[in-house]
Amino acid sequence: MKISDKTKEVLLGPLSANNPVIVQVLGICSALAVTVQLKPALVMGIAVTIIVAMSNVIISLLRNTIPMRIRIIVQLVVVAALVTLVSEVLKAFAYDVAMQLSVYIGLIITNCILMGRLEAFAMSNGVWDSFLDGLGNGLGYAIILVIVAFFRELLGSGTLFGLQVIPQWCYEHGYVNNGMMMMPAMALILVGCIIWVHRSINKEEKK
Amino acid sequence: MKWLYNIVEKLRPQFDEGGKFHALHSLFDGFDTFLFTPNSTAKRNAAQIHDASDSKRTMIIVVLALIPAMLFGMYNIGYQHFLATGEIVTGGLTWALFWKAFAFGLLALLPYIIVSYVVGLGIEFTVAQWKHEEIAEGFLVTGFLIPLIVPIDTPLWMVAIATAFAVIFAKEIFGGTGYNIFNVALITRAFLFFAYPTKMSGDKVFVRTEGTWGWDGGQTLVDGFSGATPLGQIATAQDPAIALTNTVGEPISFLGAMNGLYPGSVGETCVWAILLGACLLLMTGVASWKTMLSIFVGGGLMAWIFNVSGIDNAAANTPWYMHLVLGGFCFGAVFMATDPVTSARTECGKWIYGFLIGVLAITIRVLNPGYPEGMMLAILLMNAFAPLIDWCVVRVNINKRMKRATLNK
């Protein structure tokens, strides 16, 4: 099967050129809240990816039958159902992470990326494209989360996925973990840095 | 100065376009401006006034004003060290010991000054080169302030990271010198404070108990030694009626607090030295007396309110005049809050800005035992509000004048 340019654009665009977090600046709140460590950040990224993709598919299927006036409610119901499902699965199979993420799993319902994609894409596109669009946007979100969490966990706790990375030797010679990395303020600055790097790389393309 | 000028002029072609060292031209420009510009003043019979004072001259005056505090800070580092090791006992100070203490402090502080300047100026020069701009002189004061507002046992690499962070994120991304919203030196301190709290507060970091460069290392401490700053003692006190003591348990009076021979950040302890600097700043008109005065009024008033409020903790019970001379209150009021870039610019705004800094600093000290010193946070917070204050003052003035104006219908 040959992948058309449009499909490619729909799937890969959100990863960099049209990234939901660093270009559209959506979903910042949860990006700051769950990125203290890599593991919850990764789980959160996967959860959002699944929910965006699935809800995009469902809304795309229903798009011709949803009355325009109540479409937001319909979208919310679909998203809420999926979020509840994911939340229950996490509680059953990854209880620790679910506890770490606490309310932020539930708050995926209010994540701007979801409503944005449903409104902007799924309501007016086919099922397959909507699925790819959801996947792309979810992954675009997840990538940023993982990058931010990587730096925050490495510099803030000296670990990656909970494993000690910075050797004990460094601590004995006076190295100290950076407490600022544990604060949401630093996550915002890191997101800012990523945007900075991203913009400088893509400067020519924009023009 | 003629010979220096000749050397610079002789070297100039090498740094010009096509010269051997063109890559380093911003470095050269920086030193050239530093030494020789502006060299023109207005003619005597001209209508405008254009004298040789520019931001660089202003900065040098601030640095000069900081020197008493720095010299005293150096002496105090050594004094506290030898007090802790028992070499100096109160009342038994000789000239030999005085110079020994000063030399010890000089050696201890020098690396901080070097690190702060090398890191900060390094970034400034790099950015200037990269953006093809002239080097701005803004770091001259910041680099001098940073060593004076950190404890003497904060590791150098932390100071280096914090300086880099502050210069990049508090200054360069806003557009460089003159465009920053927050005081860069205070951002350095805030970064250190939040990133490495164990090395920035508590009773271990304010007195150098180890040696400096191998000098006097490994000595035993005297009995009853405690390196807690007066504000640290207040914040951790169980007894609401606390008596402040110095490192070896002798009480600190109001005059003792003015003299500043107690542990604290390097430049902040001696009120007399800061007063000397304040005189220079006020005489030359570099800093605003309105900001300074209103900070003391606000702080004193708030501390007095807490004194009579009936809140029963050590910080609220500390007399209002003690609050004004302890910790970084004076240093912040004189050197930090008056920064012309980050403070309010309207004359009326300066009163509001200063008053609120004083009020907030004391409020933080008293109501939040997690932050024994509120000055840094208060100034940074008001830095953020300074433009709003200015805007309100200007709007009020416009409205007032609009009412006064009569329209010809």
Q: Which amino acid would we find at residue A193? A: C
| Lowest mean pLDDT across A52-66, B25-39, B311-325 | B25-39
Percent of chain A having pLDDT more than 90?
Answer: 29
Say whether A189 and B197 touch across the interface (CB within 8 A).
Answer: no
Q: Structure pTM?
A: 0.85
Say whether A176 and B158 touch across the interface (CB within 8 A).
Answer: yes
Cα dihedral B168/B173/B179/B181 (nearest 10): -80
Residue B72, pLDDT > 90, answer: yes
The ipTM (two decimal places) reads 0.83
Percent of chain A having pLDDT more than 70?
Answer: 97
Q: What is the structure's pLDDT at B201?
A: 80
Nearest CB to A179; choose among B157, B169, B194: B194
At how many degrees (to 10) do helices A112-120 and A127-157 cross? 160
User: Each residue of B151-196: pLDDT tens digit?
Assistant: 988 889 999 999 999 999 998 888 888 888 999 999 999 999 999 9
| Lowest mean pLDDT across A89-98, A116-125, B26-35, B321-330 | B26-35
In three-state secondary structure terms, A160 is: strand
Contact A111, A45 (CB under 8 A): no
pLDDT category at B39 given cuts 50, 70, 90 is low
Tokens found for residue A147: 């990058």
CA angle B95, B68, B381 (to 5 degrees): 140
Contact A117, A138 (CB under 8 A): no
Mean pLDDT, rounded, for A102-127: 85
Residue in the structure block whose two tokens are 């709140």? A29
Q: What is the structure's pLDDT at B23?
A: 67
Query: Domain residues of chain A, as ranges?
Result: 17-201
What is the average pLDDT score of chain B?
Answer: 84
pLDDT category at B316 given cuts 50, 70, 90 is confident
Q: What is the structure's pLDDT at B379?
A: 94
Q: Which residues of B touch A181 (CB under 8 A)?
A: 195
**Alpha carbon of B157: minimum distance to chain A alpha carbons (Å):** 9
**Contacts for A178 with CB less than 8 Å, ≥ 6 apart:** A155, A156, A186, B195, B196
Mean pLDDT, rounded, for A74-103: 89
Q: What is the structure's pLDDT at B313?
A: 81
In three-state secondary structure terms, B380 is: helix
DSSP secondary structure letter of residue B212: B
**Alpha carbon of A152: minimum distance to chain B alpha carbons (Å):** 12
Tokens found for residue B80: 């506290």
Task: State the Cα–Cα distance between residues A162 and A169, nearest whole angstrom.
Answer: 18
Nearest CB to A174; choose among B155, B169, B197: B155
> What is the CB neighbour count within 10 angstroms for residue B115?
19
Q: How many helices (H) and strands (E) does chain A have?
A: 11, 2
User: Each residue of A7-48: pLDDT tens digit?
Assistant: 777 777 787 778 888 888 888 888 888 888 898 899 999 999
User: Each residue of A42-57: pLDDT tens digit?
Assistant: 999 999 999 999 999 9
Query: Domain residues of chain B, as ranges?
Result: 2-36, 55-199, 230-397
